[in-house]
Amino acid sequence: MADIAELKKIATQVRRDILRQVHGCASGHPGGSLGCADFFTALYFEIMEHDPSFNMKGAGEDVFFLSNGHISPVWYSTLARAGYFPIAELATFRKLNSRVQGHPATHEGLPGIRVASGSLGQGLSVAIGMAIAKKLDGDDKLVFALTGDGELQEGQIWEAVMFAPHNKIDNLIVTVDLNGRQIDGDTKDVLSLGDIEGKWRTFGWEVLNIQDGNDMEEIVKVLHQAKTMSGQGKPIVILMRTEMGYPIDFMVGTHKWHGAAPNDAQLENALGQLEETLGDY
Amino acid sequence: MLQDYISSGSKATRDGFGEALYEVGAQNENVMALCADLVASLKMQKFIDHFPTRFVQTGIAEANMIGIAAGLATAGKIPYTGTFANFSTGRVYDQIRQSVAYSHKNVKICASHAGLTLGEDGATHQILEDIGMMRMVPGMTVINPCDFNQTKAATKAIAEYYGPVYLRFGRPNWPNIMSDTKFEIGKAVIMNEGTDVTIIATGHLVWNALEAARNLEAKGISVYLINIHTIKPLDEEAILDAVSKTKCVVTCEEHQINGGLGDAVANVLARNFPSPQEYVAVKDSFGESGNPMDLLIKYGLGTADVEAAAVKVLERKG
CB contact under 8 A, A122 and B103: no
The verdict on residue A214 lying in a domain is yes
* Residue B181 near residue B153 (C-beta atoms within 8 A): yes
Across B245-262, average pLDDT = 98
CA pair distance A39, A16, nearest whole angstrom:
15
The rounded distance, in Å, linking the Cα atoms of B278 and A92 is: 50
Residue B12: predicted pLDDT: 98
Interchain contact, A163 vs B64, CB within 8 Å: yes
User: What integer best gives the mean pLDDT of chain B?
Assistant: 97
- How large is the average pLDDT for residues B112-138? 97
Q: Which residues of B are catalytic?
A: 62
B111 and B89 in contact (C-beta within 8 Å)? yes
CB contact under 8 A, A116 and B103: yes
Q: Give the integer Cα–Cα distance in Å for A248 and A258.
A: 13
* Residues of chain B contacting residue A129, judged by C-beta atoms under 8 Å apart: 67-75, 79
- Is A277 within the bounds of a domain? no
Residue A276 exposed, middle or buried by CB count within 10 Å (0-12, 13-18, 19+): exposed
Domain membership of residue A20 (yes or no) is yes
Rounded distance between C-alpha atoms, residue A79 and residue A60, angstroms: 19
Residue A280 in any domain: the answer is no
Which CATH number belongs to the domain containing residue A142 in this structure? Answer: 3.40.50.970
User: CA A276 to CA A271: how far, in whole Å?
Assistant: 8
Contact, B143 vs B231, CB < 8 A? yes
| A137 contacts on B by Cβ (under 8 Å) | 75
Is A198 part of any domain? yes
| A223 within some domain | yes
Closest B-chain CA to A143: B71
A chain contacts of residue B94, beta-carbon cutoff 8 Å? 119, 122
Please answer yes or no on whether A163 and B68 come within 8 Å at the CB atom.
yes
Which residue ranges of chain A lie beneath pLDDT 50? none
Q: How far apart are alpha carbons A95 and A18 in whole angstroms?
A: 15
What does the alpha-carbon distance between residue B264 and residue B244 come to, in Å, rounded to a whole number? Answer: 17
- pLDDT of the residue at A1: 64
Rounded to a whole number of angstroms, the distance from the CA of B35 to the nearest CA of chain A is 13
Is A241 strand, coil or helix?
strand
Q: What is the chain A residue with the closest CA to B98? A: A116
Domain of residue A136, residue span? 4-271
Q: Are B140 and B161 in contact (CB under 8 A)?
A: no
* Average pLDDT estimate for B286-309: 98
In a domain, A281, yes or no: no
pLDDT at B180: 72
**Which one of A57, A125, A136 has the shortest CB-CB distance to B68?**
A125
pLDDT band at residue B55 under the 50/70/90 scheme? very high
The CA distance from B99 to the nearest CA of chain A, in Å, is 6
Q: What is the pLDDT of residue A265?
A: 98
- In this complex, the residue of A107, A129, A159 whose CB is nearest that of residue B72 is A129
Number of domains in chain A: 1
Distances (CA, A) of A108 to A68, A85, A123, B37, B271: 19, 13, 19, 36, 30
Indicate the helix (H) or strand (E) that contains B83. strand B78-84
Residue of A nearest to B52 (CA): A136
Where do the domains of chain B lie, and which CATH numbers do they carry?
9-175 (3.40.50.970), 189-317 (3.40.50.920)
Q: How many CA atoms lie within 13 A of B41 on its CB side?
A: 18
Averaged pLDDT, B214-239: 98
CA distance A94 to chain B (A): 17
Q: How many CB atoms lie within 10 A of CB B200?
A: 30
| Averaged pLDDT, B127-149 | 98
Residues 29-58 of chain B with CB under 8 A from chain A are 53-54, 56, 58
Cβ-based interface (< 8 Å): residues of A facing B: 56-59, 65, 105-107, 114-119, 121-134, 136-137, 155-156, 159-160, 162-163, 167
Which has the closest alpha carbon to B135: B109, B161, B156? Answer: B109
Helix axes A216-229, A4-25, angle to 10 degrees: 110
Arithmetic mean of pLDDT, B50-62 = 98
Report percent pLDDT > 70 for chain B: 100
Residue A174 lies in a domain: yes
Q: What is the mean pLDDT of residues B98-110?
A: 98
